[in-house]
Structure 1
């Protein structure tokens, strides 16, 4: 083989080597796909690439649904309450219906709330007979309503009713 042929063959070999695709295992060193080399001179290993091989999280696993409650009352003292409705209007409608169950015809919504608890306090004052407040728990709502009653100057603060309406998680 002549020197010219040897250099020509070597040149062709290097050219083909330069355009040949590199396997992904070679791209990560001595490790298989999805892993990267770790360690130091003479001591080596492979570790998984964080997130490699894991499926993407589901885009919409679900959502929280707000729930409503309402209290309705009449001039003669009849009252009705509702809780756990997905629509404010539905909660108000049921509270008015429950108030009317006692015979009142002038029931109107006095208080609405959502995703929390409420408490009502009778003040003993004719100008501001019932006070409402809300909180994360019935106890917190009662404490707040009682504080409001005391701040109004009323000496008589009587617990009337409390309830809660909580959101729920709907999958999908």
Structure 2
């Protein structure tokens, strides 16, 4: 018998597939796909396989909201800071208000940041003033601000302030 004639016979072809280990897909025992047999001989049933037939959980349709922080200062050294605002302008306004709380009338925004931490460092050299830098955490921001201070030529750099503002998830 030739191979082509052998493959034309449905029973012989099925036998070949079974011998080769290739067979039709079957569900768990006597149950439909996505279920497994329960019970014993004579009394049996099917139960759903946990997680089978369930799609991926729906994604939450929310979004991340960035939050802002700001630092304001005056010529006489008064300062104010704010954090956690949803709008940059709001963070800046509160920082200027807090700076003016100490009596200064010339407060202006010196630094703004969002979704991160910041640190400010004052150089011992008056001409270098205060330096700001940001980072993923307060330690990184402080390290960066200190490096900036030292690069300016000052070996004495004094920590002034640091804070963080983080995004939050708003559902719907």
Question: What is the TM-score when the length of structure 2 is the normalising length?
Answer: 0.69
- Give the secondary structure class of the aligned counterpart of 2:102: coil
Q: Aligned residues, how many?
A: 137
Give the gaps of 5 or more residues in structure 2: 1-29, 36-47
C-alpha separation between the residues in 1 aligned to 2:102 and 2:120? 19
Runs of at least 4 residues off by over 6 Å: none
Question: Residue 163 of structure 1 aligns with which residue?
Answer: 163
Give the gaps of 5 or more residues in structure 1: 1-29, 36-47
C-alpha separation between the residues in 2 aligned to 1:125 and 1:90? 33
C-alpha separation between the residues in 2 aligned to 1:171 and 1:155? 48
Q: Kindly report which structure 2 residues correspond to 1:22-171, keeping only aligned pairs within 5 A, or say none.
A: 32=32, 53-55=53-55, 57-171=57-171
C-alpha separation between the residues in 2 aligned to 1:128 and 1:121? 10
Question: What is the TM-score when the length of structure 1 is the normalising length?
Answer: 0.69
Can you list the C-alpha shifts for 1:12-48, whole angstroms capped at 9, x where unaligned? Answer: xxxxxxxxxxxxxxxxxx973668xxxxxxxxxxxx9
C-alpha separation between the residues in 2 aligned to 1:56 and 1:71? 44
C-alpha separation between the residues in 1 aligned to 2:119 and 2:139? 8
Backbone CA RMSD of aligned residues? 2.7
